[in-house]
Chain A
Amino acid sequence: MSSNDANTARIKKLTQECVDIVRTILVARREMGRLHDPELRQVHLPRASEEIGAILTMTESATNDIMLAAEDMMALDLSEPEFAAEQVNNACMRIFEACSFQDITGQRIANVLKTLQLVESKIEQLENAFAGAASVEPEVAEPVHTDAALLNGPALEGEGIEQDFVDQLFA
């Protein structure tokens, strides 16, 4: 083989490699485009962020209520035992009420976990797309059952209704 033939073969090989790279990039871009999920960015992630904010606020408020109740008990005048016992009882009930934060924050954390699982699934699909694995199928949203659509968990500030409004409905 002449030197010219060898160079031509090398150029052809390089050209083919470049074409393959461009093709891979185009496929990856197309797959990434199919993974684009505006709802994740515009709804789920901001919601998760707000849920975490609400968890912080609620745990702080509950901690404060529990500490106030404990401080009230510590400050009791024990020279009147019956009155003191009643005050201790009331303070204990305030602590119980405050502990309901665990239920609400648990539900909020569950909502955040759902978003994290969504992100995880998107990352997995991206990995598959770049690895040239099976083509990424666009996600088809499952139809939401009517009752399931009512399961939203705790509302964020300004979203839900107050107990007074509920009371009006039941009046």
Chain B
Amino acid sequence: MAVQMNMPILIVDDYRTMLRIIRNLLSKLGFTDIDEAPDGETALAMLKSRDYGLVISDWNMQPMTGFELLKVVRADTILKTMPFIMVTAESKVENVQAARQAGVNNYIIKPFSAAVLKAKLKAVLGEF
């Protein structure tokens, strides 16, 4: 099935610069409906209020980390199948393994390029 370029995407990061970077990269790739959240807790509330097609989240945030958000999403009966990409500076093997075990769909290490983001989106959502 073709990727709907107008599907709502939620990006979660406590650095406004990174939110802008990811938003601009997604726009450049053709996605048109992008929301932002500054932490896991806000993101969770937004996920429960709107039907998002994808979450792109940082790991290291307060009060709720991206890892905690991922675990809550996977434990939620409605949200559990939500495509979830972790974009983080945490680049230890144990981090990737923990995220994978928690059900993350893909994992991007910061800093990253537009090409890497596009490749991971294709891997998770399919060709677009």
Q: A residues within 8 Å of B by Cβ? A: 89, 93, 96-97, 99-104, 106-107, 147, 150-155, 159-163, 165-166, 169-170
The digit string for B85-117, where 1 denotes a CB below 8 A from any CB of A, is 000011111111110100000111111111010
Q: Which residues of the other chain, A, contact B41 by a CB distance below 8 angstroms?
A: none
Task: Say yes or no: A170 contacts B106, CB within 8 Å.
Answer: yes
A150 touches B94 (CB 8 A): yes
Number of A-B contacts (CB under 8 A): 97
A104 touches B96 (CB 8 A): no
**B25 adjacent to A96 (CB under 8 Å):** yes
Do A100 and B60 contact each other (CB < 8 Å), given the known contacts A93-B24, A150-B94? no
Fill in one digit per residue for B64-97: 1 if any A CB lies within 8 Å of its CB, else 0. 0101100000000000000000000111111111
Residues of chain A with a CB closer than 8 A to B59's CB: 150-151
23 A-B contacts (beta carbon < 8 Å): A89-B28, A93-B28, A93-B114, A96-B21, A96-B25, A97-B25, A100-B21, A100-B111, A100-B112, A102-B17, A104-B111, A152-B95, A153-B89, A154-B90, A154-B91, A155-B91, A155-B92, A159-B92, A161-B109, A162-B91, A163-B116, A169-B107, A170-B106
Question: For residue A162, which residue of chain B has the nearest CB?
Answer: B109
| CA of A165 to CA of B93, assembled, Å | 9
Distance of A100 from chain B, by nearest CB (Å): 4
Across the interface, which residues of B come within 8 angstroms of A102, CB to CB? Answer: 15, 17-18
Complex Cα gap A96–B26 (Å): 12
Cβ of B123 under 8 Å from chain A: yes
- Do A170 and B123 touch across chains, with their CB atoms under 8 A apart? yes
Q: Is the CB of A147 within 8 A of B21?
A: no
CB of B109 within 8 A of CB of A166, answer yes
Bound Cα distance from A155 to B93, whole angstroms: 11
| Cα–Cα distance between A99 and B17 once the two chains are bound (Å) | 7
Is B13 among interface residues, defined by CB-CB distance under 8 A? yes
